[in-house]
Amino acid sequence: MKSLRQLDCTKNYLETVPPKLASMASLEQLYLRKNKLRALPEFPSCKLLKELHAGENQIEMLNAENLKQLSSLCVLELRDNKIKAVPEEITVLQKLERLDLANNDISRLPYTLGNLPQLKFLALEGNPLRTIRRDLLQKGTQELLKYLRSKIQDDAPGPSEEPPVTAMTLPSQSKVNIHVITTLKLLEYSDKQAAEIPGAVFDAVGSNPVATVNFSKNQLREIPPRLVELKDSVCDVSLGFNKISSISSELCLLQKLTHLDLRNNVLTALPEEMEALKRLHTINLAFNRFKVFPSVLYHLPALETILLSNNQVGSIDPVQLKGLDKLGTLDLQNNDLLQVPPELGNCENLRSLLLEGNPFRTPRAAVLAKGTAAVLEYLRSRIPS
């Protein structure tokens, strides 16, 4: 098929892609999302390939050689994989405009990433990044690239310097580390497959203020009731990768909360009492079971980031969303949106609107690929006058 431009193999059980695919001389877009790939495909001669979508696979590493063969890529989408490192060779992708690495296991980035001349969109949320502060990630792609460029001149930190522990860092310690509580204000009990958080974990806090709680990757079925004991200081709570089916009122008492990570649970709704979380600016609800957009989110004025991908949300209210005037990132990828209301185009503060993987027919993929500003402009043009 020498003339074929687009090939979509999404949602299959592919473990490999034959290198011979590269002889499809006209191929520009290749969709391999939601398969079983463990590595990026090898394309010795795909000179025209502009878009490669390989999110939601099991890719663990990016082979530098494979990247070198993809020099014409404009879009590389690798979110929700198991990638641990980004090789320096990523800089061979000089035409790259969009790079999506969200929800992987990346702990550090090559500073040379800042030198990609065309890069307009870089998604990194949901990675255990040690060297980049979370507030920097919130500022958008250009600020982040500027930061990376500034670090190219600096040398790497010396052996005595510990990288800062972020809320996404998951050190697996078997017992409670009092030193971590007192110096980092971090209460961490993750990756233990525990059905409940032992009382000793909370007892260890004593009178120390705790800013960050990480109880992710366990078997919790409810919000730990004793979390409320930390309400005077806690601002960042990670409860992702558990089996939580509902949010209890205890969580709604944590009024200093700014970040809440509830991804990969079995939630279907959020209680209206969450309206009390007036400082909340980031909420991650990806990979749950929401069928409707949680209405309480419309009443949280500080929200800057809503991550709601991989649910079954069927509609959104653009008028109420416009009321969230700080909202910069809205991720609704892989939901059940049958249409995108044109009025969403009026949410002009959105810097990152992610809608791929929904069953709507318009905006078409070509519009989505142009990025958020183009999508919003397109939607505004469709508002009945």
DSSP 318-337: HHHHHT-TT--EEE--SS--
Beta bridge partners of 75: 51, 98
Q: Does 149 lie in the same domain as 256?
A: no
Rounded CA gap, 123 and 187, in Å?
27
Do 144 and 208 belong together in one domain?
no
Tell me: pLDDT of 162 over 60: no
Predicted confidence at residue 45, as pLDDT, reads 65
Least confident of 70-84, 165-179, 318-332: 165-179
Claim to verify: residue 28 and residue 108 sit in the same structural domain = yes
Distance from C-alpha of 381 to C-alpha of 385, rounded to nearest angstrom: 9
Same domain, 137 and 217: no
Q: What average pLDDT score do residues 26-49 get?
A: 86
Burial of 80: CB neighbours in 10 Å, binned 0-12, 13-18, 19+: buried
pLDDT at 163 (0 to 100): 41
Note whether 218 and 111 are same-domain residues.
no
pLDDT in tens, 98-134: 999 999 999 888 888 888 989 989 998 888 887 787 7
Q: Look at residue 166 and tell me whether its pLDDT is greater than 80.
A: no
Enumerate residues 6+ apart whose C-beta is below 8 A from 7: 21, 24, 27, 29, 30, 31
pLDDT at 164: 42
Same domain, 333 and 200: yes
Among candidate residues 116, 139, 154, the one where a domain is terminated: 154
Is 163 a domain residue? no
295 and 258 co-located in one domain: yes
Same domain, 94 and 209: no
Does 227 fall in a domain? Answer: yes
User: Does any domain span residue 265?
Assistant: yes
State the pLDDT at residue 107: 87
pTM above 0.75, yes or no: no
Query: Does the pLDDT at position 253 exceed 60?
Result: yes
Other beta carbons less than 10 A from residue 116's beta carbon = 20
What CATH number does the domain containing 264 carry? 3.80.10.10
Full domain range(s) for residue 315? 178-381
Same domain, 218 and 147: no
Tell me, yes or no, whether 159 lies in a domain. Answer: no
Residues 88 and 182 in one domain: no
Let me know whether 148 and 15 are in one domain: yes
Mean of the per-residue pLDDT values of the chain: 88
The answer to whether residue 150 scores a pLDDT higher than 60 is: yes
Domain boundary among 154, 189, 208: 154
Residue 172: exposed, middle, or buried by beta-carbon count in 10 A (0-12, 13-18, 19+)? exposed
Round to whole Å and give the CA distance between 205 and 208: 6
User: Does one domain contain both 225 and 328?
Assistant: yes
**Amino acid making up residue 147:** Y
Query: Which pLDDT value is given to residue 342?
Result: 96
Q: Does a structural domain hold residue 124? A: yes
Residue 81 CA to residue 103 CA, distance in Å, equals 7
Question: In the predicted model, is pLDDT for residue 262 greater than 90?
Answer: yes
